[in-house]
């Protein structure tokens, strides 16, 4: 049986993207670099960010792609390259990566899920905003500085005690 992915133009997707070395804290240690890499990517490949949070070793994001676009893979590739080029070299690199001229900053793959309706979207937004609590970094989602929950609070969509 041959599995074939279906990419939806204008789709809304939830992503989990991890560092190759899950013991590192490169993402939060270099949050300004990650943010500028993200902004640089969005200039050339626009996307609407519905929700996001960054933990030390991974991040979760929900993107709404433009109506005529289904290419989230190139967005992630560009973001990873933009970020990695400014990270000091020294990570462990496999033979396979060396042959392809790749760095060892990110896991090659990421997990994506096509959002299938409003209920699914709300569950994934809640998952994102509660993730720093789940991992034990904070006791309240609003206490985590690298989360879109602050935008949601500012817009009045949730209050600062959400998730407590």
How far apart are alpha carbons 140 and 28 in whole angstroms?
Answer: 18
- Residue 86 — very low, low, confident or very high, per pLDDT cuts 50/70/90? confident
- Quote the crossing angle between the two packed helices 72-84 and 31-44, to the nearest 10°: 140
Helix (H, G, I), strand (E, B) or coil at 164: coil
User: What is the distance between the alpha carbons of residues 16 and 34, in angstroms, rounded to a whole number?
Assistant: 15
Q: What are phi and psi of 121, to 5 degrees?
A: -60, -50
104 Cβ contact list (under 8 Å, min separation 6): 20, 21, 91, 92, 93, 94, 97
CA distance 124 to 116: 11
Cut 0.85: pTM above it: yes
Least confident range of 8-12, 64-68, 122-126: 8-12
Query: 């896991």: which residue's tokens?
Result: 107
List alpha helices for 57-117, DSSP H. Answer: 72-84, 95-100
Mean pLDDT of 29-47: 95
Q: How confident is the model at residue 87 (pLDDT cuts 50, 70, 90)?
A: confident
- Predicted local distance difference test score (pLDDT) of residue 138: 97
Q: What is the pLDDT of residue 156?
A: 92
Closest by CA to 107, choosing from 24, 51, 2, 1, is 24
Q: How many CB atoms lie within 10 A of CB 150?
A: 15
Structural domains of the chain sorted by starting position, each given as residue range(s) with its CATH number in brackets: 12-87+101-154 (3.30.70.1290)
On whether the CB atoms of residues 52 and 90 are closer than 8 A, the answer is no
Report the catalytic residues.
146
pLDDT at 103: 65
Of residues 58 and 70, the one with the higher pLDDT is 58
């Amino acid at each position: 049986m041959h599995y074939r992915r279906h990419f939806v133009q204008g789709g809304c997707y939830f992503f989990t993207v991890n560092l190759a070395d899950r013991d590192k804290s490169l993402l939060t240690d270099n949050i300004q670099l990650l943010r500028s890499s993200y902004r640089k990517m969005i200039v050339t490949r626009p996307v609407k960010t519905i929700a996001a949070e960054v933990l030390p070793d991974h991040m979760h994001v929900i993107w709404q792609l433009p109506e005529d676009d289904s290419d989230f893979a190139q967005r992630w590739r560009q973001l990873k390259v933009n970020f990695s080029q400014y990270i000091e070299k020294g990570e462990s690199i496999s033979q396979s990566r060396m042959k392809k001229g790749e760095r060892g900053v990110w896991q090659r793959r990421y997990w994506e899920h096509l959002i299938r309706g409003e209920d699914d979207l709300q569950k994934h937004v809640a998952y994102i905003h509660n993730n720093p609590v789940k991992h034990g970094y904070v006791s309240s989602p609003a206490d985590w500085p690298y989360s879109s929950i602050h935008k949601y609070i500012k817009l009045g969509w949730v209050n600062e005690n959400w998730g407590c």
